[in-house]
Structure 1
Amino acid sequence: MEEKAAKRVVLVPVPAQGHLTAMMQLGKALYLKGFSITVAQTEFNHLSPSDDFPDFSAVTILGGLSETEFKNLGPVEFLIKLNVVCEESFKGCLGQLLQQHGNDVACVIYDEIMYFAEAAAMDFNLPSVIFSTMSATSFLCRSLMGRLNDNPLLDPLEEPGEEDKLIPELYPLRYKDLPTSAFAPLESSLKLYMKARDKRSASLVIINTSSCLESSSLEWMRQDLQAPIYPIGPLHMAASASFSLLEEGRSCIEWLNKQAESSVIYISLGSLAWMEHKDMVEMAWGLANSKQPFLWVIRPGSVPNPESLSEELNGIVSERGHIVKWAPQKEVLSHSAVGGFWSHCGWNSTVESISEGVPMICRPFSGDQKVTARYLERVWRIGIQLEGEELKRGDVERAVRMLMADEEGVMMKKRALCLKEKIEASARSGGSSHNSLNEFADFINAL
């Protein structure tokens, strides 16, 4: 008897490191459950084959945008234009997949920001699924912000001094914690959120979070969307998948092996954030003055004139620090020498840190990072947020010492380890995230 072909799932990721990482982890998790995986990728940030995804197939959505256009437009306007130029090409990709695989193509799973994929799926009567690679709270904020053109929720952002006020509906978030972009005017962010919300007719939503982290936000999402919500994260625990658009340096692991247990603060500000020269120098002096060993990721392009900065930093940090261009983050965070994480609070970085029981210093840069930083500090109470336009070395020194050496840091570590236990329980057999992933797999098999 001929063996029945596996159901095929088409993934449509945003072409950016954090979004791609979560989508590829989802693909790996579904592949391990017996599904065939096709990744529909744009010409921008094209995926390369790797040992972790040898059985994935890929199709390329032609007519996309270039890296030059990304730099000229900025991330928000780039994504809006990407949704316009990709829809017709993606319809062609889906048509070819259906010709090749017929009814075995079960559904399209798209990053919530790649909303063109839903319209294309509807043309072929294919079910579509929204995948949120960010937190449930951030999803909820974007949904509320995109609900109306003239949104009274946003009025305080236009009034000087009002941005520090709490939002009654979203406690403990302040108006300045809303996921607005550092790369674009508020109007552009709202345009993207409105378009993403207006396009929603997906069968359900899956999200890379756990009920133990965001139960109230998840319940609000269910009421707001009137659709099934499946919290299936953290996905890096369900399916370990090595994927990076940047080359990871291994020297940091050798350096960590020589450090005392829980003594090192790890610093990485993500794949997009940038810093002014003066802030980088203040940060370096604050780290040096804290007397704590530190591992610092300084990504190429993250600071202007890196050559002139390099000599200056080397003199400041050589005694206690180690600098790399990029690091294998999950391996670093799980290392016994690491006791704290200074982060931009991207969602992948946050759940990776929580999953290892590592408390954080929060320096959000843009978008959902601000929401996450506030939750780390005020809800989960495992983070210290450094606020203000400019960094000051004294503030940096105090934050590092508080996290790594003071009693408050000890308590944050205990709370972080408690959250780690809860997340591990949710990912184990019978846990909430484990069950949600199985229920989602059952949904695909029933299509």
Structure 2
Amino acid sequence: METQTQTTVDRHRRIILFPLPYQGHVNPMLQLANLLYSKGFNITIFHTNFNKPKTSNYPHFTFKFILDNDPHDERYCNLPLHGMGAFSRVLLFNQFGADELRHQLELELSKKDEPSVSCLITDALWHFAQPVAVSLNLPRLVLRTSSLFCFLVYASLPLLNDRGYLDHSNDITTPLLDGLGYQHLSDNNHLEEQVMEFPMLKVKDIIKMGFKKANDVVGDVIGNMVKRTKASSGIIWNSFKGLEEPELETVVREISAPSFLIPFPKHFTASSSSLHEQDRTFFPWLDQQPPKSVVYVSFGSVSQLNEKHFLEMVHGLVDSKQSFLWVVRPGFVDGSTWLEALPDGLMGERGRIVKWAPQQEVLAHKAIGAFWTHSGWNSTFESVCEGVPMICSPFWGDQPLNARYTSDVLKVGVYLENGWKREEITNAIRRVMVDEEIRERVKILKQKLDVSLIKGGSSYESVQSLVAYISSL
């Protein structure tokens, strides 16, 4: 890990960073901020009051809270919108945030007693920031918090819609947009067919993303994200060349803006940006477990299961006879505060359940043998960074794409693509814990990543290029 005291240039240039206010987006943005600070830049963070980070963990940054500061602003009083869950804030801020963002940027640009602003870096989903930045003649780079592969699929949504892949109302029960529930697919052989444009995907993977049409409200946000990412001054990806080289070649060919692939987990941990209290009391227990003997289970900060599927998880874990560390976030089981649905005495002494954990430290622990994940990109990439094979249970959005890429392209995990069935869960856990080919492949990926970080390696050079590029703006 790099330290925050490193400096390679004078701290006379300032960068304004603006993350989306959700855990999976805050983590990489603040890791990027730490990295840029370590290279000598002055850092200002724009953030909403909603899900605001613990600023005391970042005394070296300046925080400005914007967009939702007025408690009487009727646009934000009744969030979340019906049926839209967490995504409602993305929709509303993109719709109404331009004037305030422009005002705040004008204030920052006019300050004479602070370093000049080199650029604005926003989450790619803040697509409204692009025309604002252009109007102020301020270069805007974007941080894309999912994979290059996901971006290419998202860029193809209009084509996939024209081909009829998104119109399967009789084939699928679509979950709420905040990830509630697992999408249940009907028994339809068509869903198992390959997608012509992306042969590694099945039709059901496209449907599981949760877009009813490319031009629905969510599809509209994605479409604008793609369009304005392409129009930006640069794209920063949480990835590395050896992981997604074919996709990188396509991105470089089709987008004129430069791309910078940086594996943030290898530079800074995300523990300081956690929006949840982290439990560390389990580490003495974990330290006592044999190497590669424990299954780590965590489904992120938003996903939710009903009680029936939760119990299938419980039985699948218990029946696997493997030791496990399971993060069960309060509210993870729909209708429960925490563990009310857990049968008394069923878990025994084999496992530990906590409300939240410092994930990167857990994945790096010698006792961890597999990661059962919702296949969010941060979790997927952190697992690759630590050489841990995966069991994949995606919910919506990019997660089905990441799960398929993990299992069928990288071949470093098993995709539980038929929902929550205890027998399949048990079999997947047992397979991943003993499959030497899967373990060897993920070990090789980790080695490639480690080599890329050495001077002259692709990830090392990407950081250098990003620093030089921002310094030239």
Using the TM superposition, give the Cα deviation of residue 413 of structure 1 relative to its aligned residue in structure 2, in angstroms.
Answer: 1.0
1:35-94 CA distances to partner (integer Å, 9 max, x unpaired)? Answer: 11111111221122133x221111121347759613643233431221112111111110
Match of 1:396 in 2: 425
Conservation of the 8 A alpha-carbon contact between 1:178 and 1:368: no
5+ long unaligned stretches in structure 1:
none
Match of 2:228 in 1: 199
- The AA in structure 1 aligned to 2:128 is F
Using the TM superposition, give the Cα deviation of residue 240 of structure 1 relative to its aligned residue in structure 2, in angstroms.
Answer: 3.4
Conservation of the 8 A alpha-carbon contact between 1:143 and 1:197: yes
Q: Which aligned pairs between 1:315-334 and structure 2 lie closer than 5 A?
A: 315-334=345-364
Structure 1 residue 36 corresponds to structure 2 residue 46: no
Using the TM superposition, give the Cα deviation of residue 348 of structure 1 relative to its aligned residue in structure 2, in angstroms.
Answer: 0.8
- The AA in structure 1 aligned to 2:447 is E
Query: Residue 340 of structure 2 aligns to a residue in which SS?
Result: helix
Using the TM superposition, give the Cα deviation of residue 256 of structure 1 relative to its aligned residue in structure 2, in angstroms.
Answer: 0.5
Choose which of 113, 118, 128 in structure 2 pairs with 1:116: 128
Choose which of 341, 344, 365 in structure 1 pairs with 2:395: 365
Structure with the higher helix share, 1 or 2 = 1
- The AA in structure 2 aligned to 1:111 is D
Match of 1:55 in 2: 60
Query: Distance in 2 between the 1:179 and 1:219 partners?
Result: 26
Match of 2:264 in 1: 235
Quote the sequence identity (%). 35
Q: Which aligned pairs between 1:324-363 and structure 2 lie closer than 5 A?
A: 324-363=354-393
Using the TM superposition, give the Cα deviation of residue 318 of structure 1 relative to its aligned residue in structure 2, in angstroms.
Answer: 2.3
- The AA in structure 1 aligned to 2:19 is P
Query: Distance in 2 between the 1:336 and 1:156 partners?
Result: 45
Query: Residue 97 of structure 2 aligns to a residue in which SS?
Result: helix
Query: Distance in 1 between the 2:253 and 2:133 partners?
Result: 25
Q: Normalising by structure 1, what TM-score?
A: 0.92
Conservation of the 8 A alpha-carbon contact between 2:23 and 2:301: yes
Structure 1 residue 95 corresponds to structure 2 residue 101: no
Query: Distance in 2 between the 1:175 and 1:111 partners?
Result: 29
Further displaced range: 94-103 or 417-426 = 94-103
1:382-409 CA distances to partner (integer Å, 9 max, x unpaired)? Answer: 10111224x121111111111113xxx2
Q: Normalising by structure 2, what TM-score?
A: 0.87
Using the TM superposition, give the Cα deviation of residue 353 of structure 1 relative to its aligned residue in structure 2, in angstroms.
Answer: 0.7
Choose which of 158, 166, 170 in structure 1 pairs with 2:198: 170
Query: Distance in 2 between the 1:175 and 1:8 partners?
Result: 45
Q: Which aligned pairs between 1:133-172 and structure 2 lie closer than 5 A?
A: 133-145=145-157, 147=158, 151-152=162-163, 154=165, 157=168, 160=171, 161=188, 162-172=190-200
Using the TM superposition, give the Cα deviation of residue 149 of structure 1 relative to its aligned residue in structure 2, in angstroms.
Answer: 10
5+ long unaligned stretches in structure 2:
1-8, 70-74, 172-187
Conservation of the 8 A alpha-carbon contact between 1:265 and 1:294: yes
Query: Residue 317 of structure 1 aligns to a residue in which SS?
Result: coil
Match of 1:381 in 2: 411
Change (3 A) 1:125 1:289: same
Using the TM superposition, give the Cα deviation of residue 304 of structure 1 relative to its aligned residue in structure 2, in angstroms.
Answer: 2.4
Choose which of 254, 277, 294 in structure 1 pairs with 2:284: 254
Change (3 A) 1:9 1:179: farther
- CA RMSD, Structure 1 to Structure 2 (Å): 2.4
1:12-46 CA distances to partner (integer Å, 9 max, x unpaired)? Answer: 11110001000000111111010111111112211
Conservation of the 8 A alpha-carbon contact between 1:76 and 1:184: no
